[in-house]
Chain A
Amino acid sequence: MPATLPGKSPAMTVMPEDAPAVETARPNAATAPGRRISIAGVARGVWRARWFISLRAFATFICLWALLAAWVSSPLQLPSPAKVFDAMVGLAAKGELLSQTLISASRLGVALMVATVIAVPLGFAMALNRELNTYLDPIVELLRPISGIAWIPLGLFIFGVGGTLPVFIMAYVAFFPLLLNTIDGVREIDRKLLAASRTMGITRRAQMVHVMVPAALPSVMVGFRIAFASAWAAIIAAELIGSPSGLGFSIEWYRQLLMSPKVFSFIVLIGVVGYLSDVVLRTVQRKLTPWADGMGIDQ
């Protein structure tokens, strides 16, 4: 191995669990019976397992954080992981973590629903009707570069401080990826599918339901995931500036009260909720459009 990868030897001495080493070790473990070797094999297997790698990466991260916190020695600027954990347990016990998450999540849900209900049918219409597209496309292209964040001051005027502003900002932010991906999805439907269905004498309506929607759905789902990610980023900004509740509000609120452990707790929560939601969306995407794989759409 070192002969083919000359520069790799230093890394191998530091990290003996390098892949080629394991691949050569496995046949050994299989052919040679004996407890010692199989335990080593199991240990190596665990050491190389995905969950263990994540676990030790997090452990390292938390250790570094603890060291840094001890070195900074200002609990205001960088509270230790233990303190953040304590604060998190306290907030969870009071039900605050859950209630603020639910507030933000319900706003997100409403915004995504509004955006989907408008953007997906509009995307279908714009992709199928060239005339409509020439009329509407300029408006879309004029508005698209204006980020949702830039709407916040004007939105504050129109809606005031409250729950409507974040919903508006998120719906705006989610609208464009959904629309553009729907248009793309419909435009890139295989012509042969359409021709084949027409040859079989299918009605226009049935063609829509049984051919076009399933063919465009994978692209719509990709759009939905992008929309979710942008909305999730936007909600923090919108709530932080113009809302009296929600996750974005909470981090800023506790920052003003100088309760850093609580600020960090909510930031961790934002990361966890965002990550879990993406996992759920990926699963839904796989279950809902299992044919997307064959269409070369990146999951």
Chain B
Amino acid sequence: MSMNVNVRATGGIPNWAKALTLPIILLVIWQAWAMTLPETSPAPAPLKVVQSFAELTASGELIWATIQSLGRVLAGFAIAMVAGLSLGVLMGSSRIVRENLDPIVESFRPIAPMAILPIAILWFGTGTPAALTIVAYAAFFPLLINTIHGVSRVDRQLIRAAQTMGLSRLRTVLVVIVPAAIPSVLLGSRLAMGVAWTAIIAAELAVGAKSGGGTSGGVGQMMFVFYAYSIDLNGIVVCMIVVGVIALLIDRLFRLVEHKLLPWRN
């Protein structure tokens, strides 16, 4: 507050106005440039994008596509969560398991989720299961790595204390190690959700592109249809903005959960 007063007193521009300057200038330039083009040009323009957004929302198409994509992300994420957490706890708490599985995990990690797509299509066709596979694969690694990290860095003293009190190994894992690893797991979940959202867009886009559109649904496929069939660049920009907003919301939501669950960390 005092800073604001100070800024005004010296006659400077407040920070929020500075922050808005460049985006507004760019939008105006974009709009002006689009208006110089002939009416039939497919080039996107800010006002047309807003109009397109209103139409797509009113028809329910955009909302339905978003729900479809989000549903797949959640389902894929759930699969990755089950696999990543259980394997992560195993690898984090047992050195033998970790040593033996590490080379395999490390050699799969540099294989991009999209590289798995052709295999997923060969196995499951171009429907939802292929898309789910990509999402689960993408989300698996951040979850696994962060769970291992969280579990293996649990304070030794806590584990020793639990053992002194005669807890069985299983109970030690459940009661001591897993709760202590939660911060790391939450971080992994946030990262995993981020890559999962990117992966579903990529998967829907590619499945749409490689199967002649139609079958996949979701925001990614919507973009592809706008690109390949209706040539609606304004629609594509609307989808891009939706992708960005959802990514931002996911990130903020997970940060909020981290903040609420782990108040001592902030």
Point out residues on A near B: beta carbons under 8 Å. Answer: 4-8, 11, 15, 18-19, 53-54, 56-58, 60-61, 76-77, 131, 134-139, 142-143, 145-147, 149-154, 156-157, 229, 232-237, 240-241, 247-248, 251-252, 254-256, 260, 263-264, 266-267, 270-271, 273-275, 277-278
Contact = CB atoms under 8 A, between A and B. Distances in A.
A236 B112 contact: yes
29 contacts: A4-B163, A6-B169, A53-B99, A54-B103, A57-B103, A57-B104, A60-B100, A77-B123, A131-B18, A145-B243, A146-B240, A146-B241, A149-B201, A152-B205, A153-B239, A154-B237, A154-B240, A229-B110, A233-B112, A237-B114, A241-B206, A252-B210, A267-B111, A267-B115, A270-B111, A273-B110, A275-B107, A275-B109, A275-B110
The 5 closest A-B pairs by CB, nearest first: A7-B169, A274-B110, A255-B118, A146-B244, A153-B227
Nearest to B19: A138
Contacts of B19: 134-135, 137-138
> Per DSSP, are chain B's interface residues mostly helix, strand or loop, or mixed?
helix
A104 to B, nearest CB: 11
Contacts of A229: 110
A237 B113 CA distance: 9
Nearest to B209: A241
Contacts, number: 167
A259 B212 CA distance: 20
Interface residues of B, number: 65
A156 B227 contact: yes
B104 to A, nearest CB: 5
B226 A153 contact: yes
B104 A61 contact: yes
Contact of B243 (A18, A61, A150): A150
> Per DSSP, are chain A's interface residues mostly helix, strand or loop, or mixed?
helix
Contacts of A151: 240
A76 B223 CA distance: 30
B135 to A, nearest CB: 13
Given A60-B100, A241-B206, A267-B116, 13 more contacts: A4-B163, A57-B103, A134-B18, A136-B22, A149-B202, A150-B244, A157-B233, A237-B112, A247-B115, A254-B118, A255-B121, A270-B111, A271-B108
